[in-house]
Structure 1
């Protein structure tokens, strides 16, 4: 197996791999042996650190690439890890999810140990759970089936059998789902296993259980796996479940070549059985483990980092790392209170449209919320504002019929491609027949979504062509191979649209601009979080949401659900002392107006306070006349600069940030008149 590839830009010498790392990341890369625990805060470059560690180990000959198994939690993260290793000149390392790695091994050993093909995997638990409920006499609807399916999954990943369920659920202070009692759920778990057995199927948890049992019961199988994989890396270790940890123990045997990476502050999946226990107790399990902390945040501005640190500090989160921002200063986080949910959705859509107009790509903007039910209002508001969007957690990119049809066309074109025609041009020619056009359609809905999907394929072709070396240009075959690899890893190309996502599904992602919507009591923390542990996890969830933002962060909530409804909501307790203004924090109103005191805080010592107030009154009048948010006229920072510099000509106005030629044409004469009419030093 070759240890290197001819990937353009790959380091020519192993030591060059270390050049791109900061001191702590370099410590990770050099920690090649023994148990290693990397505590990595949000945005601190943990993926960079562990991929460089693997690459350095392979390139220096410390271990063969095929002896490494890197395990993470999403196919997307595994695909990114493989891409980074390839760019570092390393091939042969296995980077997979727990389930993908286990399924591959189970599929290999099953015919040898059991005989025949492995059982078919149950794609969805719901039908089997519904049948199990019928057998034990439980009356269920679609919501109850979903909740019971989640409870069955929790029991299995927690290694809780039907016989132990009642005791384990009580010990975990876990309320039974959908109003059923614990005894009924225990009977349902037994019936569910019977249904699977009769149908000859297994579920995803069974894949891990069966492989772990096979390794534990058949020493020659364990020996074969352990002779293959001798070095383990586990990402997101704070999210490991008892079942996953049990399998990891079987993979390791009594060996100690384990590197784990995690952040206790990002533990947000305990409801699925994940626990930070294994990460927090790693040094008790391995008393000589090397512990390295990554706290330099390269993702977010100091303003975002300070808010994230404050959220954890006030909650006294166990094991929290205090991040140190490495980026230049950016805009302050914005806090907005809206009258109702409709106004909140419209206001965020208007702000997103403004960011796009200022040059931020739609794919670099996200609206994050606590529950998926909140997405509908934002879908409608963004459509009304003419802003494209995509709902994360919806239909997967590569399962869309239009994408599958386009890939078939591209695969056919690759077989008869013209070697003299640039690959991106060929891709455009092919996709025109699949409904793509050079300009986006004016229509919304499915037509626009189809075009966005085709455009993502075009953009991927352009990226591949740009990254290829001049002496080996990317071809149609290159694109087809890349699409096949991405489809297997569910690593979709970027679709140009504002991302709508729940806070849970946003973990591991980042955007230039993030809107945290619906940050009110009952949603953050969710009303279902009734225990101290549950509330603490909700605080960590807010922290995850905040740290998704690179530069722009806007946090909001609505006082009422419906227009004209009773304004009974209160903003989240997690932002006590951080939300500006009136003690409980009203922040900026739905019209975009900051309180007078907050707005004046932008003024320098030489600014004219009376002129500033007059400018704000003028702006409010314009906003009401045009039925637009006040900030779309001119921002407070621009008004403060005018109050300080007192421009008397349009050329002087043009030197002020935030007022371009169009706004000078529209408001210039009025602004100069306001300056002229204000007495000096007022």
Structure 2
């Protein structure tokens, strides 16, 4: 991608950046409010603060700094920016990692981790035997939620604890929770123990037992997608005096996890900051994204996109309707036209699924001699000069582009199975709004009318320009 720019603090951000009293701080804000930039500017300020503090107190050990994100692509992006922000010096031990990579390193676990596809196969076996009359995909997400929230010794708390962070439909009452635990979860744990299998939640639990790292500074970005057990693990490695920062917006949560700070060990935050200005999107992009998630229940750690807080105006998002080949014809013309400057601007072409779903897009970009790179699941941020990036929605989380293009938003990507319960619908709406919110200047979405995703019903007619091909 084109070179990253070193962020500069706005007056609103400066108050947060320079808050250097030790303790836990929470930064909230909607998409585009500059949460990640604020966190990285805060990283620079806090690193310098702790270096001075060590020098003043005669402490000779390096200042230990850990920045954690959820996915690999975002980790690569944050690392590039973090290296620009952090002060140089041998007295600073700075590490940027995904929470999974960090947990492996901190726990010393060197074995293999059970991939979700293999885990799901085991769970589906017990779900089938249980004859619970709910969609297996929903039940697996429920199990992911409860295993990530409760410690192994406290799993029975699931029976009586409010299911915060989950949808209201289908209803999961106490008898159903008992069946989920006794017919699926406990047999799954027994299989893991018998066959010495190790899943991603086990990795978080293992990280709690490793030698204490003693971090003076920890920044946790996109914290809404961390589990409570992952937060417990992070908190267990803090130095007695520390600066801990969580950055989150639960409106953008796209995984079936729930982070309860009190359960994780933070009784209260020393200070909570809320970023209110939208520095990324135009008013029109923010209004379109808001329509997609309007009506969702928003908790205190979430924020709906608010066009009133955006500083600039631009064109309405464009929705092109027609066969995929015609969508790509229009998109290629748009990329080569006067509204996109590929010398200085970036373009993110996003799709819900990766792999072969990008084949047609790659072919068309190559035929048009448009240079591109691919971001999905990359651990290192590409330092080449391609202005166009292909990415899944999940890998684009936390990133930003001048232009966002979402071709082929069809039912095949968001099937009836995906829309079969309240939580899945909410997750897909949040995912799409998150993708739209990556854009600074323009948004283009394409779909074929007879294959349209159900998500199209959430497009507000007054918030976009429709182009029929």
TM-score range, shorter chain: 0.7 to 0.9
Q: 2:399 aligns with which of 509, 518, 537?
A: 509
Deviation at 1:266, TM superposition (A): 1.2
* Residues 127/527 of structure 1: CA separation in 2 closer, same or farther (3 Å cut): closer
Higher relative contact order, structure no. (Cα contacts within 8 Å, ≥ 6 residues apart): 2
Q: 1:285 aligns with which of 267, 288, 305?
A: 267
8 A contact 1:301–1:329 mirrored in 2: yes
1:578 lines up with 2:462 in the alignment: yes
- Structure (1 or 2) with the greater helix fraction: 1
1:99 lines up with 2:100 in the alignment: yes
* Counterpart residue number, 2:425: 535
Structure-to-structure mapping, 1:101-500, within 5 angstroms: 101-107=102-108, 118-122=109-113, 124=115, 156-159=147-150, 183=183, 187-196=187-196, 202-212=198-208, 214=209, 221-222=211-212, 225=213, 228-252=214-238, 257-270=243-256, 274-275=257-258, 277-278=260-261, 285-286=267-268, 289-313=270-294, 315=296, 317-318=298-299, 319-321=302-304, 322=306, 328-338=312-322, 340-354=323-337, 359-361=341-343, 364-372=346-354, 374-393=357-376, 396=378, 489-494=379-384, 496=386, 498-500=388-390
Q: CA–CA distance in 2 between the matches of 1:282 and 1:193? A: 25
Aligned length: 430
* Residues 570/277 of structure 1: CA separation in 2 closer, same or farther (3 Å cut): same
* Residues 326/160 of structure 1: CA separation in 2 closer, same or farther (3 Å cut): same
Deviation at 1:380, TM superposition (A): 4.2
Q: Deviations over 1:267-300 (max 9, x none)?
A: 1122xxx225549x999931x6322111323323
* Counterpart residue number, 2:39: 50
C-alpha RMSD over aligned residues: 4.7
8 A contact 2:288–2:464 mirrored in 1: no
Q: 2:30 aligns with which of 18, 26, 41?
A: 41
User: Aligned to 1:304, what secondary structure does the other structure show?
Assistant: helix
User: Aligned to 1:351, what secondary structure does the other structure show?
Assistant: helix
Deviation at 1:543, TM superposition (A): 1.6
Alignment TM-score, normalising by the size of structure 1 = 0.52
* Residues 289/375 of structure 1: CA separation in 2 closer, same or farther (3 Å cut): same
Deviation at 1:25, TM superposition (A): 0.9
Alignment TM-score, normalising by the size of structure 2 = 0.73
Deviation at 1:541, TM superposition (A): 1.6
8 A contact 2:138–2:421 mirrored in 1: no
Q: CA–CA distance in 2 between the matches of 1:337 and 1:68? A: 48
Q: CA–CA distance in 2 between the matches of 1:85 and 1:571? A: 36
User: Aligned to 1:285, what secondary structure does the other structure show?
Assistant: coil
8 A contact 1:525–1:535 mirrored in 2: no
8 A contact 2:33–2:278 mirrored in 1: yes
Q: CA–CA distance in 1 between the matches of 2:284 and 2:371? A: 28
* Residues 589/579 of structure 1: CA separation in 2 closer, same or farther (3 Å cut): farther
* Residues 515/377 of structure 1: CA separation in 2 closer, same or farther (3 Å cut): same
Q: Deviations over 1:554-611 (max 9, x none)?
A: 12321124xxxxxx87771211343558xxxxx2211xxxxxxxxxxxxxxxxxxxxx
Unmatched segments (≥5 aa) in structure 2: 55-61, 130-135, 172-178
Q: Which has the larger radius of gyration?
A: 1
Q: CA–CA distance in 2 between the matches of 1:276 and 1:526? A: 28
Q: 1:69 aligns with which of 55, 66, 69?
A: 66
8 A contact 2:349–2:405 mirrored in 1: yes
Deviation at 1:128, TM superposition (A): 8.1
Q: CA–CA distance in 2 between the matches of 1:360 and 1:58? A: 36
8 A contact 2:47–2:65 mirrored in 1: no
User: Aligned to 1:47, what secondary structure does the other structure show?
Assistant: helix
Q: 2:16 aligns with which of 28, 40, 47?
A: 28
Deviation at 1:312, TM superposition (A): 4.1
User: Aligned to 1:552, what secondary structure does the other structure show?
Assistant: strand
Q: CA–CA distance in 2 between the matches of 1:87 and 1:578? A: 41
